[in-house]
Amino acid sequence: MAAWVLPDHIADILPSEARHIEELRRLCLDTARGFGYELVMPPLLEHTESLLPGSNSAQDLQTFKMVDQLSGRTLGLRIDTTPQTARIDAHLLNRQGVTRLCYCGPVVHTLPASPYATREPLQMGAEIYGHDGLEADLEILQLATQSLRASHLTEFYVDLSHARILPALLAGHALTEAQLQSVTQALTHKNISAMRELGKQLPSNLAQALLALVQMYGGLEVLTHAKTEFAAWPQVLKALDELAWLAGHANQAVSIDLADLRGYAYYSGPRFSMFVPDTSDALVRGGRYDEIGAVFGRKRSAVGFSLDIKVLVGLLPHPQPQAAIRAPWSEDPKLTQAIAQLRAQGHTVVCLLPGHESVVDEFHCDRELTQHQGAWTVRPLHSN
Amino acid sequence: MAAWVLPDHIADILPSEARHIEELRRLCLDTARGFGYELVMPPLLEHTESLLPGSNSAQDLQTFKMVDQLSGRTLGLRIDTTPQTARIDAHLLNRQGVTRLCYCGPVVHTLPASPYATREPLQMGAEIYGHDGLEADLEILQLATQSLRASHLTEFYVDLSHARILPALLAGHALTEAQLQSVTQALTHKNISAMRELGKQLPSNLAQALLALVQMYGGLEVLTHAKTEFAAWPQVLKALDELAWLAGHANQAVSIDLADLRGYAYYSGPRFSMFVPDTSDALVRGGRYDEIGAVFGRKRSAVGFSLDIKVLVGLLPHPQPQAAIRAPWSEDPKLTQAIAQLRAQGHTVVCLLPGHESVVDEFHCDRELTQHQGAWTVRPLHSN
Chain A residues with beta carbon closer than 8 angstroms to that of B26:
26
Distance of residue A353 Cα from the nearest chain B Cα, in angstroms: 7
Cβ <8 Å between B131 and A353: yes
Q: What integer pLDDT is reported at residue B363 of this predicted model? A: 74
Let me know if B211 is exposed, middle or buried by CB neighbors in 10 A (0-12, 13-18, 19+).
Answer: middle
What is d(CA A6, CA A4) in angstroms, rounded to the nearest whole number? 6
CA atoms within 13 A on the CB side of A257: 18
CATH entry 3.30.930.10 includes domain B1-152? yes
Q: Which residue of B has its CA nearest to A95?
A: B361
Chain B residues with beta carbon closer than 8 angstroms to that of A363:
36, 38
Cβ <8 Å between A44 and B106: yes
Mind listing the pLDDT tens digit for each residue in B9-47? 999 999 989 999 999 999 999 999 999 999 999 999 999
Q: What integer pLDDT is reported at residue A55 of this predicted model? A: 61
User: Do the beta carbons of residue B87 and residue B112 sit within 8 Å?
Assistant: no
Helix (H, G, I), strand (E, B) or coil at B120: coil
Q: What integer pLDDT is reported at residue B246 of this predicted model? A: 97
User: Does A1-154+285-319 match A157-275 in CATH topology?
Assistant: yes
Chain A residues with beta carbon closer than 8 angstroms to that of B10:
43, 45-46
Mean pLDDT for all residues in chain A: 91
CATH superfamily of A1-154+285-319: Bira Bifunctional Protein; Domain 2 (3.30.930.10)
**Is residue B129 within a helix (H) or strand (E), and if so which, with residue range?**
strand B122-129
Average of per-residue pLDDT across A114-127: 95
Mutate to test the interface with A, among B12, B131, B134, B301 (most CBs of A within 10 A): B12
What percentage of chain A exceeds 70 in pLDDT? 97
Cβ <8 Å between A49 and B3: yes
Cβ <8 Å between B45 and A133: no
Q: What integer pLDDT is reported at residue A53 of this predicted model? A: 67
Q: Which residue of A has its CA nearest to B107?
A: A44
Mutate to test the interface with B, among A19, A24, A84, A362 (most CBs of B within 10 A): A362
Give residue limits of the domains in chain B: 1-152, 157-275, 323-380
Chain B residues with beta carbon closer than 8 angstroms to that of A27:
none
Mind listing the pLDDT tens digit for each residue in B190-230? 999 999 999 999 999 999 999 999 999 999 999 999 999 99
Q: What integer pLDDT is reported at residue A59 of this predicted model? A: 86
Cβ <8 Å between B50 and A5: yes
Cβ <8 Å between B351 and A36: yes
Chain A residues with beta carbon closer than 8 angstroms to that of B87:
3-4, 12
- At B286, the pLDDT band (50, 70, 90 cuts) reads very high
What pTM does this model have? 0.94
Mind listing the pLDDT tens digit for each residue in B133-142? 999 999 999 9
pLDDT at A384 over 50: no
pLDDT at B166 over 90: yes
Mutate to test the interface with B, among A104, A353, A356, A365 (most CBs of B within 10 A): A353
Of A2-6, B4-8, B332-336, the poorest mean pLDDT is in A2-6
Higher pLDDT, A151 or A265: A151
The amino acid occupying position B16 is S
Which member of A12, A36, A108 has the closest CB to residue B88?
A12
Which member of A18, A101, A362 has the closest CB to residue B36?
A362
Average of per-residue pLDDT across A313-335: 90
Cβ <8 Å between A14 and B92: yes
Cβ <8 Å between B18 and A39: yes
Mind listing the pLDDT tens digit for each residue in A36-49? 999 999 999 999 98
Mind listing the pLDDT tens digit for each residue in B239-285? 999 999 999 999 889 999 998 877 777 888 999 999 999 888 899 99
CA atoms within 13 A on the CB side of A338: 23
Cβ <8 Å between A7 and B73: yes
Which member of A3, A8, A33 has the closest CB to residue B295?
A3
Which member of B13, B34, B349 has the closest CB to residue A41?
B13
**Is residue B217 within a helix (H) or strand (E), and if so which, with residue range?**
strand B217-218
Cβ <8 Å between B9 and A70: yes
Chain A residues with beta carbon closer than 8 angstroms to that of B250:
none
ipTM for this model:
0.94
Chain A residues with beta carbon closer than 8 angstroms to that of B11:
43
- DSSP code at position B77: E
Cβ <8 Å between A251 and B336: yes
Which member of A44, A84, A343 has the closest CB to residue B120?
A44
Chain A residues with beta carbon closer than 8 angstroms to that of B75:
7, 64
Which member of A88, A99, A329 has the closest CB to residue B135?
A329
Mean pLDDT for all residues in chain B: 91
- DSSP code at position B5: P
Nearest Cα to A230, choosing from A210, A204, A259, A245? A210
Chain A residues with beta carbon closer than 8 angstroms to that of B42:
12-13
DSSP per residue, A51-115: HSTT--HHHHHHS-EEE-TTT--EEEE-S-SHHHHHHIIIIII--SS-EEEEEEEE---SS-SST
pLDDT at A183 over 70: yes
pLDDT at A360 over 90: no
Nearest Cα to A85, choosing from A93, A73, A76, A95? A93
Let me know if B181 is exposed, middle or buried by CB neighbors in 10 A (0-12, 13-18, 19+).
Answer: exposed
Distance of residue A304 Cα from the nearest chain B Cα, in angstroms: 16
Which CATH code for domain B157-275?
3.30.930.10
Mutate to test the interface with B, among A41, A140, A345 (most CBs of B within 10 A): A41
Chain B residues with beta carbon closer than 8 angstroms to that of A251:
336
User: Do the beta carbons of residue A64 and residue B14 sit within 8 Å?
Assistant: no
Mind listing the pLDDT tens digit for each residue in B68-95? 999 999 999 999 999 999 999 988 777 8
